[in-house]
Structure 1
Amino acid sequence: MMKKTIAIILSLLMILSAVPFTGAFAAEENGAPSDYATEAALYVHAVSGSADTQAWQAWQSVHDEDFEVAKPNEKYFFLPSSAAENTIDVYNGFDAAVTLNGVSIASHATESVAYTAGTAYTVSAGGNNYTLKIMNSNAEGAIYINNPDADGNGTDLMTYLNDTKENSATATGAIVTPDGKIDNTAIKKIKGRGNTSWDKPKKGYNINYDKKVSIAGMEKNKKYSILPNYQDDSLSRNRILYDLSDAVGLPYASDSRYVDFYVNGYYWGSYLMCEKVEPGSLVPEVTDDGYLNEDGTIKEDFPFIAEVDASATEGDYYVTTNNMKITIKAPEVDPGQPGYEEVKNYVKEKFNAFYTATAPSGDLASVADVNSVAKLYLINELGKNWDSGVSSTFFTYRQDENGNYKFYGSPVWDYDNSLGNAKGVQWDLRNIGVTDYEEYTGWWCQHKGKSNASAKRSNNVIARISQNAAVKAVLPRIWFERFMPALDHFTGAKYDKEINADFYTKEAYYGLIKDSAAMNYESGWLLNTGSWIADHSSQNVAHYDSATQKMVVDSQTTNYAQDFEGMYNYASDWMLSRAAWLSEQFAPNYVPSPLLGDADLDGEVNIIDATAIQRHNAGIISLPEEAKVSADVDKDGEVTIIDVTLLQRYFAGIATIKGIGKPIE
């Protein structure tokens, strides 16, 4: 049914492919769609006055989740954020002139047309009467990908890609930013991605451009993943938790942007364009050939990226250890290449040692960066991530600052089933004894993967990390000194310019996505995505009282409208309420870390601290060892006149010194 319905809607886009696209070459000089546009329809360009041929969208009707159209004569233009607020360039793909809002557009010609968003315009074309409504996005960018002949037999790109995840194709396209800049770098390869999400009608894809490109200000890369967030009615859970991971200092957090996605002139909805989990770009310490010496022999030690992935299949490059499938994301070696078995054996050996060390009394610090795996656990615990330690759980094995190879808990990935979104599998929850999965209270990760409710411990790797003594010792400090400042910033109540470089406020994220979300849901992607999704209609919001070290729950229930704003607020409020519960749990064991620059250890950083460092350097006083750590402002291992100078420049407002006045990790 899925293949058939996709083919139906896409064939509607190309229904008159036999109709000669006369005048196309002449019209292109004035701005017209490329040869992917063969339907008799009206088309709108992303940027007014552009001669670009790629960033065009055909008008389309609202569809259901099987791509069935109930009202084919009601049409929409879903405009990206680059479109002008009051004029658009419209191309007429019909064989006779068409009039739109008083402007006559000749057959196969382009004209500038004034418009008002939300107004329904009447259009007579091809012997039919239509209404046309125009909506505007505010997303950070737009992605256009075009190929009307993906398999060489005339198959439309999305029909071909969605037939099987194994299919891939090349394409032309456009990357468009809100300021109207267009990048026409070609697509070397696009193919489907995802595990359970691949079975949904709105799918995700991996995109490999011919050269490095920037998407809406992201660092240039060739490879990206474009995520549909189909099961997330807030369209934001992945974005928020990726950015939070970045803000708390997890390495390799994927940068991402809200984008609108168009293929062959068809609007596919609001997506999240992300840096792909890849060696060399997102994880620079790992390369696909980094396991080889110059003479082609296998190195004794080398870095790699490994993913705990229960859905790994025969076609994947993986090993099985401790009843877990560990996919080797990099270096990915094909059968027959040098080192194919050696790399697998090496990864298995190192992951075994790591897994063993995650035991409650295991020496985790000898094989892993404790802080980073603790942060990875906290991200999963904060979100109550259903997939925690089961799939999309990545670890990077590389050298630390001392040259020792260790595991780092990152990159983070795939959190649409987090933050109160999913109901979970009920028989599984009953088996492990969790009755409050949908609630923001209660421990989660330590139970995930238990064989039964009475089992003392789980074999799930994140569950084991959560119970390791070294991790438990640092959790309160990391929570209160890294996570809570970021979450307080998210609320907008304690805005922090430094945090905002990585992690925005709740209001800012909403502002970046709300209009794109409106287009997404108006086009046919319904807010209600099935029985897997939890009830998001109401909750009693909680906050943390630092004076009493207790969670305080509102007596009045907050009700959420069943629209995008309501669902976005539900997800945000659930996360902050969950944070309040976790704060209450961690508070009894929290001992504040010294502050960078606080040489006299009085809990404040001021000019007195600069004086203390000067007196120490002059031999008048001797700072205790803990105070020396705080006084070492440039973190070079010594307390010198440079540290005094940095503090003085900071107090004078001459320079911004990162980390001054904040806890030292």
Structure 2
Amino acid sequence: MKKFVYILFALFVLSACSEDTSEYKQQRDALEQNNQALQTQIAKEQEELKKRKAEQERLKQRLEELERVKSGMVSDPVLLTMEFKRSDNTGLSKDVVCDVYSSTGIVNCWLPELDDSKTLIPRFTFDGTLVMIGSQEVTSGSTAVDFSQPIPLTVMTSKGTKEYTVYVYSYTGLPVMRIDTETGNFINSKVTYVNAHMKLTEDVKTRGAGDVLEADLQIKGRGNSTWGVSTWPKKPYRLKFNEKVSLLGEHKDRSWVLLANFADKSAIRNHVAFYMGKISNLEYTSSSHFVELFLNGRYDGTYEVCEKIKISNHRVAVGDDGFLLEVDTRAPEESDSRYFYVYSLDNPVNIKEPETQYGDANFNYIEDYLNKVDVALYGYNFTDPDKGWKAYMDMDSFVDWYLINEIAHNTDAQMFTSCFMSLKRGGKLKMGPLWDFDLAFGNTDYWARGPEGFWVKNSDWFDRLFDDPVFVKRVKERFDYFYERMPDIMREIDATQQYLKYSAAANENRWHAFYNYVAPNVEIWGAYQNEVQSVKEWLKNRMEWLKAQYAKM
């Protein structure tokens, strides 16, 4: 019996040892696999290192060989000239001579055509031994190079190297947006969408250099005077993509707009206002980018593609049950408007979002809230923080929205049209986002034309807000902020003018506006730089006048 027990015990021990051994073998195998993978990685890195060393040695030998051929005369490395010859590049209509700036290491080349491909054969002269573009040695007039993105060029000798960056711009240097309608017909309605396809090609200095985006969409006209004025032939458009897309690095969305800026010959007024919005206390300002628009193959000039104002997490973020509103004198003319009146506002308030019907819960809620705002603002205790306007209206947004529109002397901002507001349930009413500045900054021959005189301050609601010393104090503080940022604003204007200079010329060739009267412009300034300079001078004078006036308050 004892023998039997011993045998069972021995079998148990052997079994346990076998399990321990099996587990050990699994661990050993795993370690061996990890070690093998590590050895493979080390071998791969060593091979890459050997290749790099071999390439360096090859270049060294190449330099020495070329320098021996040159009888030992080794110059300081420098790129002298660079060009693209039509005879080497069949896609070019003419020879292209590049601008070489050795002091900054920049080479700028402007192609006369729009072409998605920038694989070109360069010709160049240089002092040195050899030239590398990207990672390859190149021979003048022989080597094809992809210039769709900024690419490094290096002139090399045994004495040293000189580094350059080559930028090959297509046409004007702006991204190119091609929209082709399904039927081939042009857009003649701001009511009915037309099916279309878009191809957006970024240029060498835009956010995604060389990137190409294609997407299906619907397109229609948009705007009020910008669409309806017969003497403004360049029309704005609304884009609704079939799926959400990111245009030029912005958050994905289906809804975008193309601003024509026809009456603004400088093309920068909306851009400047949006820039001020971006540096303000406003929660959201539409992002915008300039593009060249080709509609059904026809060049239609410089457009500004913008985020459409709408409720979303990345735009007007008021939640799923919040409100987007617009004070809009034209609301009664639009069949899809759902608007109401507030006692102290001359113009109706249109409910842009959510979709609502007269008398439903959402309509009644927002109508009731704005009437409470109005009563509190004009009531006896209107300065009381708990019973007056501050209990219903967000001071920071009202102050900064007021100031940007007052600085711009924006004709529409007298609570007339394009005056947006938003409300998140449980929060306070906020002014903004900013919109529609093409006739601002002294660009009208009626109403708010000069740099002097208050405009928005005298409008509904704001005239009452200026009766509160707390509001006035905040306005003065925030004006000082914008006044101190004037150098930044001017630099932004200068940079934008430089960016648009070739595009402005192409746009002028299409529309012939610079030397003709475009209603309701004040003056005919002629050249593009004169248009931009007039904006700068007007803005400087405006800021100085406002500074003096606020100092008196």
Q: Could you tell me the TM-score, scaled by structure 2's length?
A: 0.64
SS class of match (1:518): helix
Aligned pair 1:157/2:194, yes or no? Answer: no
- Of 312, 317, 323 in structure 2, the residue corresponding to residue 280 of structure 1 is 312
- Of 321, 329, 344 in structure 2, the residue corresponding to residue 310 of structure 1 is 329
Counterpart of 1:172?
197
**Contact 2:291/2:303 (<8 A) preserved:** yes
* CA offsets 1:603-645 (integer angstroms, 9 cap, x no match): xxxxxxxxxxxxxxxxxxxxxxxxxxxxxxxxxxxxxxxxxxx
Counterpart of 2:206?
none
SS class of match (1:327): strand
Q: Which structure shows the higher helix fraction?
A: 2
Alpha-carbon distance in 2 for matches of 1:351, 1:157: 44
Aligned pair 1:408/2:372, yes or no? Answer: no
Aligned pair 1:442/2:467, yes or no? Answer: no
Distance 1:530 1:364, change over 3 A: same
**Which amino acid letter does the alignment assign opposite residue 455 of structure 2?**
W
User: Aligned pair count?
Assistant: 381
**Which amino acid letter does the alignment assign opposite residue 214 of structure 2?**
N
| Counterparts of residues 342-353 of structure 1 (less than 5 Å) | 342-353=361-372
Query: How far did 1:575 drift?
Result: 1.4
Aligned pair 1:319/2:326, yes or no? Answer: no
Query: How far did 1:444 drift?
Result: 1.6
| Counterparts of residues 83-98 of structure 1 (less than 5 Å) | 84=118
* CA offsets 1:428-457 (integer angstroms, 9 cap, x no match): x5xxxxxxx32212212234xxxxxxxxxx
Distance 1:535 1:416, change over 3 A: same
Deviation larger for 238-247 or 469-478? 469-478
**Contact 1:186/1:210 (<8 A) preserved:** yes
Alpha-carbon distance in 2 for matches of 1:407, 1:225: 26
**Contact 1:135/1:519 (<8 A) preserved:** no
Counterpart of 2:103?
none
SS class of match (1:406): coil
Q: Percent identity?
A: 24
Distance 1:513 1:583, change over 3 A: same
Query: How far did 1:372 drift?
Result: 0.9
**Contact 2:309/2:316 (<8 A) preserved:** no
**Contact 2:179/2:294 (<8 A) preserved:** yes
**Contact 2:290/2:303 (<8 A) preserved:** yes
Aligned pair 1:386/2:411, yes or no? Answer: yes
Query: How far did 1:269 drift?
Result: 1.0
- Of 534, 538, 545 in structure 2, the residue corresponding to residue 581 of structure 1 is 545
SS class of match (2:537): helix
**Contact 1:286/1:331 (<8 A) preserved:** no
- Of 150, 171, 184 in structure 2, the residue corresponding to residue 136 of structure 1 is 171
**Which amino acid letter does the alignment assign opposite residue 583 of structure 1?**
K
- Of 422, 436, 450 in structure 1, the residue corresponding to residue 444 of structure 2 is 422
Query: How far did 1:86 drift?
Result: 7.7
* CA offsets 1:304-325 (integer angstroms, 9 cap, x no match): 0100011112413322213421
SS class of match (2:424): strand
Query: How far did 1:180 drift?
Result: 2.2
SS class of match (1:343): helix
**Contact 2:236/2:258 (<8 A) preserved:** yes
**Contact 1:377/1:466 (<8 A) preserved:** no
Alpha-carbon distance in 2 for matches of 1:587, 1:85: 59
Alpha-carbon distance in 1 for matches of 2:462, 2:121: 53
Counterpart of 1:146?
180
**Which amino acid letter does the alignment assign opposite residue 327 of structure 1?**
N
Distance 1:535 1:246, change over 3 A: same
**Which amino acid letter does the alignment assign opposite residue 269 of structure 2?**
R
Distance 1:533 1:392, change over 3 A: same
SS class of match (1:405): coil
Distance 1:462 1:82, change over 3 A: farther
Query: How far did 1:572 drift?
Result: 2.1
Q: Highest Rg: 1 or 2? A: 2
Alpha-carbon distance in 2 for matches of 1:307, 1:247: 23
| Counterparts of residues 200-215 of structure 1 (less than 5 Å) | 200-215=232-247
Distance 1:204 1:356, change over 3 A: farther
Distance 1:87 1:137, change over 3 A: farther
Alpha-carbon distance in 2 for matches of 1:467, 1:512: 44
Query: How far did 1:235 drift?
Result: 0.6
Distance 1:407 1:423, change over 3 A: same
Deviation larger for 308-317 or 368-377? 308-317
Alpha-carbon distance in 2 for matches of 1:565, 1:281: 39
Counterpart of 2:483?
484
Deviation larger for 226-235 or 522-531? 522-531
Alpha-carbon distance in 2 for matches of 1:81, 1:533: 36
**Which amino acid letter does the alignment assign opposite residue 241 of structure 1?**
A
SS class of match (2:299): strand
SS class of match (2:276): helix
Alpha-carbon distance in 2 for matches of 1:465, 1:192: 37
**Which amino acid letter does the alignment assign opposite residue 265 of structure 1?**
G
Query: How far did 1:328 drift?
Result: 1.0
Q: Could you tell me the TM-score, scaled by structure 1's length?
A: 0.53
Counterpart of 1:572?
536
Alpha-carbon distance in 1 for matches of 2:115, 2:500: 11
Alpha-carbon distance in 2 for matches of 1:468, 1:572: 32
**Which amino acid letter does the alignment assign opposite residue 576 of structure 1?**
K
Alpha-carbon distance in 2 for matches of 1:473, 1:203: 42
Distance 1:531 1:193, change over 3 A: closer
Alpha-carbon distance in 1 for matches of 2:468, 2:421: 17
